[in-house]
Chain A
Amino acid sequence: MSDEVIEARELKKTFGETVALESLTFTLRRNEIVGLLGVNGAGKTTALNILLGLTTPTSGSMLVFGKEFAPNRIEILKRTNFASAYVSLPGNLTVGQNLWTFAKIYGVKNHKEKIKALLELLEIPHLRDRTTGQLSAGEATRVQLCKAFLNDPELLMLDEPTASLDPDIADKVRKFVRRRQQEQGTAILYTSHNMRDIEEVCDRIIFIHKGKVVTEGTPQDVVSKFKSDSLEDVFIQIARSEDLAGLLGEVKK
């Protein structure tokens, strides 16, 4: 089986005159967590939406599990999952009802045992009969993660999973994601504005700015390339640079 889970080549997306994504080329392999970084409006969300099949690219190509996305959408989505801080599960349903629904949708075998095991791993078995809308942010995020791992996805997209979480829960979430990924060899695309998250969780990062990849590598490589102390400094340098080409030229030297 090929190691490449996503192979994106020169993905471009324009909305009228606006170029949201200019040219995104990257590969995501099995057993790898790649962080997609960038300031607000850099093109991360557009990239994620294309990779999830919510938006069609204007040009470029994208293979997921070695297959074109559009004609193989259902087959690919069966092996994929997603969680976002900006997406919820229906608030009127109990946690158990929501997870049952998605277990059925993804065709999870032994779903009762699977849901129980995941709730226990995430330290929230007591929430099963609680109304989803009454959960705290930390509880809701962990329920979302439970949904995201229900089908043992080979590809997982996590959109700011630790946004608005306290440091304790954020740490638990990071450790859970890392552990499951190592156990199952999942390929994870991870977006976050929390550089601590990225440094702790990601094997590799891709920095997008104004729709283009400006740098990529391991978090440590990128920090040393930019002669910075931390990824947060790199982020700020790129975000505030008035002469990005010059900055990148310096980095290359």
Chain B
Amino acid sequence: MNFRIIYALICRYLFLYTRNWVRLAEVVFWPTMELVTWGFFTMYLKQDAGASTPMAVSWLLGGVIFWDVMFRSQQGVAISFLEDVWTKNLLNIFVAPVRPVEYLCAAFGVGFVRIAVTVIILTVLSYSLYSWNLLALRGSLVPFFGCLLVFGWSIGIFATSLIMRYGQAAESLAWAIPFLIQPLTAVYYPVSVMPSAVQWVALSLPSTHVFEGMRQGLETGTFSWPHFGWAVGLNVVWMSVSGLFYAWNLGIVREKGLLAKVATS
């Protein structure tokens, strides 16, 4: 693995953000809108049903921020690839001495930067608008964010593999896949409220354990080692499967000559 190449690719994406204020605004706009909407909803819950749902504000605002970490991480990977498709630059990259793993690591890096910016903004906003402090999670924050970041990368790799294989027609998958996962991963409610048949699906997602762990952390102030352990273990499985899926699709794409078609479509 060549870190010079990863650095160059990350810088290239960052150049893009510095030269296009619309793209920069997009990093801030959507998470802010989501936080504001859910924030007011939690305020309403707090006022009208305060005693019966004491943790509602924390659960919902925590859910919004944690969900955004995963969503932005996935988007960082998928959009990095789409950026090369949109700008017709994909062939320049794929005929350059860039290993697939270096390309993906650069996309991970971009995802990380996007998340760092998003989390800082959301933390400041949630504290100043709703007096809700994300940092109350203390030691749980970094390990759980790390798990969501890695799971977001895995989903991003899946989406990228499908776009690579099926072209821009599959572009909507980059946006849709996280929302297929959202109802299953218990972002805003505990797994226990789901039908029992769906619970095993939910628990096979690393993110579900992170959201469960986050709620436990907010409620009791303790770090949930079992949930963290499950999240790490499942991340290893999901990352391995998505990596294999990417490699398998790259082989098919090369065999069918689809890369040049996607790149010049």
> When the two chains form their complex, are residues A89 and B98 in contact, meaning their CB atoms are under 8 A apart?
no
Closest to A131 in B: B19
A-contact bits for B63-105, CB 8 A (1 contact / 0 none): 0000000000000000000011001110110111111000000
Q: Which of A54, A84, A91, A147 has the most CB of B within 10 A?
A: A54
A244 to B16, CA, bound (A): 51
- Pick the contact of B96 from A75, A88, A105, A157 — CB < 8 Å? A105
Smallest Cβ distance from B165 to chain A, in angstroms?
Answer: 14
Name B's interface SS.
Answer: helix
> What is the interface of chain B, defined by CB distance below 8 A to chain A?
4-5, 7-9, 11-12, 15-16, 19-20, 83-84, 87-89, 91-92, 94-99, 254-257, 259-260, 263-264
Q: How large is the interface on A (under 10, 10 to 19, 20 to 34, 35 or more residues)?
A: 35 or more
Q: A87-B88, A87-B91, A131-B19 are in contact. Are A54 and B96 (CB under 8 A)?
A: no
Kindly list chain A residues whose C-beta atoms are within 8 Å of the C-beta of B95: 52-54, 77, 80-82, 157
Kindly list chain A residues whose C-beta atoms are within 8 Å of the C-beta of B16: 90, 92-93
Kindly list chain A residues whose C-beta atoms are within 8 Å of the C-beta of B11: 100-101, 104
If A82-B95, A105-B98, A131-B19 are given as contacts, then 20 extra A-B residue pairs at C-beta distance below 8 Å, sorted by A number, are: A45-B260, A46-B257, A54-B94, A54-B95, A55-B255, A74-B99, A77-B96, A87-B88, A88-B88, A89-B89, A90-B83, A92-B15, A92-B16, A92-B20, A94-B19, A102-B96, A104-B4, A104-B5, A104-B7, A104-B8
Kindly list chain A residues whose C-beta atoms are within 8 Å of the C-beta of B98: 105
A249 to B253, CA, bound (A): 39
A45 to B259, CA, bound (A): 12
User: What number of A-B contacts does a CB cutoff of 8 Å give?
Assistant: 104
Q: A53-B95, A82-B95, A87-B263 are in contact. Are A105 and B257 (CB under 8 A)?
A: no
> When the two chains form their complex, are residues A106 and B92 in contact, meaning their CB atoms are under 8 A apart?
no
Interface set, chain A 191-221, CB cutoff 8 A to B: none
Q: A77-B96, A105-B98, A147-B92 are in contact. Are A91 and B87 (CB under 8 A)?
A: yes
Kindly list chain A residues whose C-beta atoms are within 8 Å of the C-beta of B5: 104-105
Smallest Cβ distance from A107 to chain B, in angstroms?
Answer: 7
